[in-house]
Homo-oligomer: A and B are copies of this chain.
Amino acid sequence: MTTEHSPGTAGRRAYHHGDLRQAVLAAALDVIASDGPGALSLRDLARRAGVSHAAPAHHFKDRTGLLTAIAAEGYDLLARALADAPDLRERGVRYVRFAAAHPAHFRVMFEPALHRADDPGLLAAKERASAELRAGVTDLADGAGTDPRTTGIAAWSLAHGFATLLLTHNLDEPLAGRDPGELFHALAGLTFGRDGTFNGQHRNGI
């Protein structure tokens, strides 16, 4: 239960948890993924970790601090997941896979009311993820006359909408157990070409 940080004190409950921050984060992700951020209780997380009710506050200041840390971690994971994607379509697939693999992070990231918007760590991670998203679109700025900005919003909307509907169980029936990434890959083929450009550009370019 409580991790013993020193072998010598085996049997006696350690005063220090060892890695309370990680334990609280992990428990919080569990709760959020299954019951949403509203079901989060700092005292419950403390109980799960086997520490007093006020212990988590030292690591995260308050509830908002915990959620801010989760959001920042989420943006960081997303940025890393998107890096080095070959084209826009694959980037979208990775976006969807990220949401499926880290549902708690994803939900908290896109609920601004939950975190401290001016947190430096959050802002930095968000900027990294944002840069990765933008990078995916500039690849196709060489195309026809369509505004790349608008195109980027379209691509982001498609992936984000799919991910959101997935997490809110609105695609459970159509998926029927299939891999969400595969379905999105197929679906993106209807709107994006294999080379990562919009079909509309080709059509307009003819």
Shortest Cβ gap from A180 to chain B (Å) = 11
A58→B204 CA distance, assembly (Å)? 59
Shortest Cβ gap from A203 to chain B (Å) = 6
Q: Tell me if A157 and B187 are in contact (CB < 8 A).
A: yes
A191 within 8 A of B: yes
**Nearest-neighbor residue (CB-CB) of A63 within chain B:** B38
Chain A contributes a number of interface residues (CB within 8 A of B) equal to 42
* Chain B residue contacts of A165, Cβ below 8 A: 153, 156-157, 160
Q: Mark A160-191, 1 if CB is under 8 A from B, else 0.
A: 11111100111100100000000100110111
* Segment at the interface with B among A4-12, A14-22, A78-86, A144-152: A144-152
A20→B202 CA distance, assembly (Å)? 57
Main secondary structure of the interface of A (DSSP, over half): helix
A54 within 8 A of B: no
* Chain B residue contacts of A149, Cβ below 8 A: 174
A65 within 8 A of B: no
| Neighbour of A160 across the interface among B156, B164, B203, CB < 8 A | B164
Q: Tell me if B157 and A114 are in contact (CB < 8 A).
A: no
Q: Tell me if B146 and A190 are in contact (CB < 8 A).
A: yes
| Most chain B CB inside 10 Å of its own CB: which residue of A113, A153, A187 | A153
* Chain B residue contacts of A198, Cβ below 8 A: 190-191
- By a beta-carbon cutoff of 8 Å, the part of chain A in contact with chain B is 35-39, 110-114, 146, 149-151, 153-154, 156-165, 168-171, 174, 183, 186-187, 189-191, 198-200, 202-203
26 of the cross-chain contacts (CB-CB < 8 Å) are A35-B113, A36-B111, A36-B113, A36-B114, A37-B38, A110-B168, A110-B170, A149-B174, A151-B190, A154-B191, A156-B161, A157-B157, A157-B158, A157-B159, A157-B161, A157-B165, A158-B191, A160-B164, A189-B200, A190-B191, A190-B198, A190-B200, A191-B198, A191-B200, A199-B199, A199-B203
